[in-house]
Amino acid sequence: MPDTQHPGGRPAFGERLAAAVERRGPLCVGIDPHPALLASWGLTDDAEGLRRFSAAVVEAVADVAAAVKPQVALYERHGSAGIAALEELLADARGAGVLTIADAKRGDIGSTMAAYAQAWLGETSPLAADAVTLSPYLGFESLRPALDLAAQTGRGVFVLALTSNPEGASVQHVGGEASVARRIVEAAGAENRRYSGADAGHGSVGLVVGATVGDAVARLGLDLAAMGGPVLAPGLGAQGATAEMMRETFGAAYPRVLGTSSRDILAAGPDRAKVRARAERTLAGLAS
């Protein structure tokens, strides 16, 4: 079993996320500064607009949400100034005591994957988040540099397993009872079993499973409840998923699901009190 001592005495990500959900509930707020959303907030579509938007969202939801999930691409499109705004967001969230999940969907091989791991999970990186999303479609084991570094630093990963976009089925559903998605779920479970805390269901290797995948979880025989880590479920709200639908979709695994909403909550802005109220309403639905 790997060393479980993390820098600064930091508990493993899975344990920290479980504690945050226990305190606040199972809500993750996506921070997605789309141009139209910035405009609706009266903000400019530039680095300064990103900074103001990001700071306002963190201030509004930091003590309501278990985590926030910035969409990295929407910062990258502004180049170095956008990345600087993302670094500020991550620092603000740390200061506010809310966990961060960098939605970067990184996936590569060898030294390139190791560099991505250092960027998003490395102890000295200004982009280091509490967790990062990863794409396993060069093979799950290609993620090894990120899996190992996350374990060393007490951070986490969320591996794409079953996404709700129509194109995803052409890869993820292939194989029937031995589908690609099922193999990813099983690989994540095996990874969690390598580390302390997994027996209690607090593993730090999580999965991304769309909140709108319907009966695909059951149809593909995915045992998410036995995987031992959290499930990040984007699609709540504007994309059509409801808490009731998610309970049916995830079944026995629902207690480990982190419901993720972005546009539905952010559309309540720019008034911070209204954003917070929308987040609280979303959370109430998840927790009821």
Catalytic positions are 105
Euclidean distance between CA atoms 223 and 16, whole angstroms: 23
Residue 252, SS3 per DSSP: helix
Look at residues 253, 198, 255 and name the one whose alpha carbon lies nearest to residue 14: 198
Query: Position of tokens 């994309």?
Result: 239
Burial of 220 (0-12, 13-18, 19+ CB in 10 A): buried
Radius of gyration of the chain (CA): 18
Tell me which H or E stretch contains 131: strand 131-134
Q: 8's torsion region: left (phi>0), alpha (psi -120 to 50) or beta?
A: left
